[in-house]
Amino acid sequence: MNVNECYCNGAFLLQDEIKKSNHSWYVERKKGQSLNIYELGVVAFLASGVVSIYNKKTDLLIVEFQAPCIIGLLALKYPEESFYVVTKTTCQIHSIKLEDVRKIIVDKKLWGAVFNIISAHLYHYTKIECIFNKKSAMDIVLESINYINELSPGSRKNISLYNFILSRCTMSRSAIYNEIKKLGLEKTIINRGIIK
């Protein structure tokens, strides 16, 4: 079972319980709106759409998640806000207070599902962190291409290599272009950075 299958199995179990709960509520957010999950003290189930997770200290993009997705489970244990969430598309979200989701997890014995969800998040954070801790621009470009190519075709088709790198580190667009040119990939990178 790969990381995405583990995540989905956990997310489906917990999302169903969140949606069924009398304590959850539904909201629709437009593109570019922030989700204040720490301020509200909630866990959010993303039913549709895409969200971007940013590092609060650096304002750099950490990772993007596409629905179905559960965000905010770390707040069950670690209440300090280390990231913030912005909607990348219009999103449908079911939210529930931390104490209510904790009760659901305990009553329904969903700690295994929570483990799968948090493990998958950690896997994605670690993969991204490894890419941008590389010492050279060439390594960052190569690792970014590898990461994007591992994504599903549906996710991959709209990702610009340039935007992927620029939103996550302080490398310039010209430095990215120079590395792509050195690799001889100019013809592979089309339409403003989309990988062919």
Cα–Cα nearest to 45, from 121, 96, 112: 96
Angle at 159 between CA 32 and CA 135, to 5 degrees: 105
Q: Give the three-class secondary structure for 12.
A: helix
pLDDT at 50: 92
Q: Of the ranges 85-99, 116-130, 157-171, 176-190, which one carries the lowest mean pLDDT score?
A: 176-190
Is the pLDDT score of 148 beyond 90?
no
Candidate CATH numbers 3.40.50.300, 2.60.120.10, 1.20.1080.10, 3.40.50.2300; the one for domain 3-120: 2.60.120.10
Mean predicted confidence (pLDDT) in 146-170: 81
Q: 97 Cβ partners below 8 Å, 6+ apart?
A: 23, 40, 41, 42
| E strand or H helix that includes residue 66 | strand 61-66
Domain boundaries, the chain: 3-120, 134-195
Edge-to-edge order in the sheet of strand 83-87:
34-35, 83-87, 50-55, 61-66
**Sign of CA pseudo-dihedral 133, 135, 138, 143:** negative
Residue 86 has pLDDT above 70, yes or no: yes
**Segment 2-43, tens digit of pLDDT:** 445 545 566 788 889 999 999 999 999 999 999 888 888 999
pLDDT of residue 8: 58
Question: 84 near 120, Cβ under 8 Å?
Answer: no
pLDDT on residue 93:
96
Query: Chain-wide mean pLDDT for the chain?
Result: 84
pLDDT digits (tens, 9 = 90+) for 108-135: 999 988 888 888 888 888 887 777 777 7
Q: Is the peptide bond before 153 cis (omega within 30 degrees of 0)?
A: no
Q: What is the pLDDT of residue 95?
A: 95
Q: Which pLDDT tens digit goes with each residue over 36-49? A: 888 889 999 999 99
pLDDT exceeds 50 at position 144: yes
Q: What percent of the chain has pLDDT over 70?
A: 89
Q: CA of 87: how far to CAs of 18, 35, 91, 145, 196, in Å?
A: 20, 7, 7, 24, 26
Q: Is 46 helix (H, G, I), strand (E, B) or coil?
A: strand
Count H helices and E strands in the chain, helices first: 8, 10
More confident residue, 25 or 165: 25
